[in-house]
Structure 1
Amino acid sequence: MSNIDLEKVLPSTNPRTSNIKMSFPILIAYIGLYVGTYYLGPTGPGSEHRDGDSGRIPPLAIVLTLLGPELIQKTFAITTVISKTESPCFGFGWLACSLSLLSSVTSGSGDLMREPECDVKVLDMKTGKRRSNKDFAVAKLLRDLEFRSVPPSVDGSFDQGSEVVVEILQPTGIPSSSASFRNLLQSGSLMTAILQFCLAGAFWFFYADLSPLLLLSISILLIEATASLPVWTAQKHASFTRNNWNGAYALMRNTDSPPSRIYIIQPSSTASTKTEGMTTHHDTPSNASNPCISPVILIAGAFLNQALLYTQLSDNAACVMLLIMFVGTISNIAIVAVPRVPQVDGVKLGSVGVIKGEGSVVEVLKDVEAAFEGYGDVLLKQCFPEMIGKWGAEVEKVKMGEMD
């Protein structure tokens, strides 16, 4: 089996392509801001829709752009590392999130991802090296693995009383630099954006007010530019390449007690034939931050200018914008909270086998060792050191049985 780490083999990116991918949406967004300023200005076509309005609802939209930036940061953490077809949706908190991103990039702190709800222990199955991983996306991957129903064993039984369950997983493909059209159609983010544009388009059709459709288009362009910032890729690489590990690795909860669920992720069996032209990156957030300062300033400034345009909306248009942002926020919550099919870098993980039983931990680890040589010994030493004596006794029994 190829000794390729799925998390570290990533397509090399062209800086020129990345700059175009960032700059073009920003340029179009600023053109949209200019048009929006004219349209919503005192003498613009949109001013007639404000006649007789109380003007109390539009400021609420500005307030909501400052609430909940943590949700967007968590969404970025998941969509950057786990799924390539999802992206953060336009919702509450985008202005605050862009300002927070600007602060992190200019200060060089690299503090972009949110802290996870639980610590994860990552164990190299080749060297036995282990560390605690506090990345939000890794914790999300572990929670998705735990949420699934553990597949039945070979004999079809399902034993809830097993002291420890070890599941072996393997990627069903290899990472790709682009997502397939079919996967894009199944993306919840894309469906949310389509629904938001339908709401804005319906308002334009019935009220002849173009402002919600214009502001939504500007927001989507700014989100696309934000998602294209290389700082997210650098954060991803720093998350997974902090230690130079190759081959299989295990995920489990980092607690004081021995783990009851262990998930071993093996490298893809097809990676060796399809990894030409790929490079391993060891970027850190600090060395990718400086090129991001200018576009992040432009993005934050655009979100601020857009928020100021909210004050020129009619009450009806402001209500539609609140509904659009609410839909996007619900979608972001779903991306963060709803369990998904376990995957890494857009590649789904398939179960190779589940090892469990009514016997002791040593019995389970013996089965792991028999099926995957070396794995049981590493798990014993790193996760169940108190069982080493029993393991030795079992090995002696096996040897005596062979001599007889």
Structure 2
Amino acid sequence: MSFPILIAYIGLYVGTYYLSPTGPGSEHRDGDSGRIPPLAIVLTLLGPEIIQKTFAVTTAMSKTESPCFGFGWLAYSLSLLSSVTSSSGDVMPKPECDVQVLDMKTGNRRSNKEFAVARLLRGLETRSVPPSIDDKFDQDSEVVVEILQPTGISSASTSLRNLLQSGSLMTAILQFCLAGAFWFYYGDLSPLLLLSISILLIEATASLPVWTAQKNASFTHRSRNSAYALMRDTDSPPSRIYIIQPSSTASTNDASMTTHHATSTNASNPCVSPIILIAGAFLSQALLYTQLSDNAAIAMLIIMFCGTISNLAIVAMPRVPQVDGVKLGSVGVMKGEGSVVEVLKDVEARFEGYGDVLLKQCFPEMIEKWEGGTEKQRMGEMD
């Protein structure tokens, strides 16, 4: 983390010399209006929320991706410093939707307040639900209950294939190609120099310990030994319920993860000094934009526009549902044309205790119907 910051400050020193009135880059400003460079500075202050969400997605779900250089980086670095120095120290954005988390062992139900949990539910909803045994569609069922379990396959592999498929890497290569082409045609090194400094600062930001601390504060570490259900938090009964079973290695890793969580959570204080340096570097870089030629400023706007589009794609595109860096696999889907009670009885038959908990916590108005059907079933067995 400190090495990229050191190289970035060396780059700032070189950039300051290059763009100074007596530097090599000053000849490219002859005859320019000087109206375009201030626009680049303004755009470094717009859209920091996009970068915040991109960090929240990439740090929790991928080791091969990180936010791209685009609009809003100066504002985001300052807001990150404010978040870390505040009492809460929460750098994650607010959840995108209201989610209810139900402990399948104790029956405790609570509202979710974490971005990662809402994003997990969103990923589960947007992907195609596996067909049931009778191959009926979701529209034919009043409620759909899916059981998932960690597969043991990492969703954050750093293999060469995944690196080549990384949208962040492809965007960075495109941005460097644009900066290199500008240098080739105009002989102006400033866009390539400023882009390199920005990439170094982004990598330093992505390496901050605060991201590990926020990731380890996930609700999954407090429910590693029991199953939990996710559903939309609405006034009406849920139509889709996703039950995530614990990993088979949860009990062996629980103690180590608890220790790691305690260590990582206290790691936010050492972040203050690096973030001050990162925010100062982005501010110094923004001041250098005032010394760019009009053509170089246009090149920087195009480069930042490409990065912003990539950040938007990272935030918007659906991802493989995963917990603690491990992909989730479906082990059962209960749905059909029958009533809610029949679906819950199917859940209870295949996963003992789950149907009863869902009935009491999510469909209490169906208890009498459930008990009546159970009594008739017992009488039939006696006959």
Q: Same fold (TM over 0.5)?
A: yes
Question: Is residue 105–residue 293 contact of structure 1 (8 Å, CA) maintained in 2?
Answer: yes
Tell whether 2:314 aligns with 1:313.
no
One-letter amino acid of the structure 2 residue matched with residue 312 of structure 1? Q
Alpha-carbon displacement from aligned partner over 1:174-196 (angstroms, at most 9, x marks no partner): 55886333222221111111111
1:200-279 to structure 2, matched below 5 A, reads: 200-240=179-219, 243=222, 246-269=225-248, 271=249, 278-279=256-257
For residues 200 and 143 of structure 1, the distance between their equivalents in structure 2, rounded to whole angstroms, comes to: 37
For residues 51 and 330 of structure 2, the distance between their equivalents in structure 1, rounded to whole angstroms, comes to: 31
Aligned position for 2:63:
84
Aligned position for 1:388:
367
Which of 240-249 and 359-368 deviates more? 240-249
Question: Is residue 369–residue 377 contact of structure 1 (8 Å, CA) maintained in 2?
Answer: yes
Could you tell me which runs of 5 or more consecutive residues in structure 1 were left unpaired when the two chains were aligned.
1-21
Aligned position for 2:31:
52
* Superposition deviation, residue 135 in structure 1: 1.9
Question: Is residue 25–residue 225 contact of structure 1 (8 Å, CA) maintained in 2?
Answer: yes
Aligned position for 1:370:
349
One-letter amino acid of the structure 2 residue matched with residue 85 of structure 1? T
For residues 173 and 245 of structure 1, the distance between their equivalents in structure 2, rounded to whole angstroms, comes to: 14
One-letter amino acid of the structure 1 residue matched with residue 360 of structure 2? K
* Superposition deviation, residue 348 in structure 1: 2.5
One-letter amino acid of the structure 2 residue matched with residue 331 of structure 1? S
1:63-78 to structure 2, matched below 5 A, reads: 63-78=42-57
For residues 25 and 39 of structure 1, the distance between their equivalents in structure 2, rounded to whole angstroms, comes to: 20
Q: In 2 relative to 1, CA 273–231 (structure 1 residues): closer, same or farther, beyond 3 Å?
A: closer
For residues 147 and 313 of structure 2, the distance between their equivalents in structure 1, rounded to whole angstroms, comes to: 27
More helix by share: 2
Helix, strand or coil for the counterpart of 2:332? strand
Q: In 2 relative to 1, CA 272–340 (structure 1 residues): closer, same or farther, beyond 3 Å?
A: closer
Aligned position for 1:7:
none
Q: In 2 relative to 1, CA 128–121 (structure 1 residues): closer, same or farther, beyond 3 Å?
A: same
Question: Is residue 235–residue 284 contact of structure 1 (8 Å, CA) maintained in 2?
Answer: no
Aligned position for 1:355:
334
* Superposition deviation, residue 33 in structure 1: 0.7
1:2-401 to structure 2, matched below 5 A, reads: 22-173=1-152, 179-240=158-219, 243=222, 246-269=225-248, 271=249, 278-280=256-258, 281-283=260-262, 287-401=266-380
Q: In 2 relative to 1, CA 119–71 (structure 1 residues): closer, same or farther, beyond 3 Å?
A: same
* Superposition deviation, residue 90 in structure 1: 0.8
* Superposition deviation, residue 235 in structure 1: 1.5
TM-score by structure 1 length?
Answer: 0.89
Helix, strand or coil for the counterpart of 1:131? strand
Q: What is the aligned-residue identity percentage?
A: 84
* Superposition deviation, residue 311 in structure 1: 0.8
Helix, strand or coil for the counterpart of 2:139? coil
* Superposition deviation, residue 340 in structure 1: 2.4
Question: Is residue 252–residue 259 contact of structure 1 (8 Å, CA) maintained in 2?
Answer: yes
Question: Is residue 51–residue 67 contact of structure 2 (8 Å, CA) maintained in 1?
Answer: yes
Which of 106-115 and 37-46 deviates more? 106-115
Q: In 2 relative to 1, CA 388–84 (structure 1 residues): closer, same or farther, beyond 3 Å?
A: farther
Q: In 2 relative to 1, CA 274–163 (structure 1 residues): closer, same or farther, beyond 3 Å?
A: same
Could you tell me which runs of 5 or more consecutive residues in structure 2 were left unpaired when the two chains were aligned.
none
Q: In 2 relative to 1, CA 379–276 (structure 1 residues): closer, same or farther, beyond 3 Å?
A: closer
* Superposition deviation, residue 370 in structure 1: 1.0
**What value does the CA root-mean-square deviation take over the aligned residues?**
2.2
Aligned position for 1:16:
none
Which of 238-247 and 215-224 deviates more? 238-247
For residues 286 and 39 of structure 1, the distance between their equivalents in structure 2, rounded to whole angstroms, comes to: 42
TM-score by structure 2 length?
Answer: 0.93
Helix, strand or coil for the counterpart of 2:94? coil
Helix, strand or coil for the counterpart of 1:104? helix
Alpha-carbon displacement from aligned partner over 1:324-345 (angstroms, at most 9, x marks no partner): 1111111111111222232334
Alpha-carbon displacement from aligned partner over 1:1-21 (angstroms, at most 9, x marks no partner): xxxxxxxxxxxxxxxxxxxxx
Helix, strand or coil for the counterpart of 1:160? helix
* Number of residue pairs matched by the alignment: 382
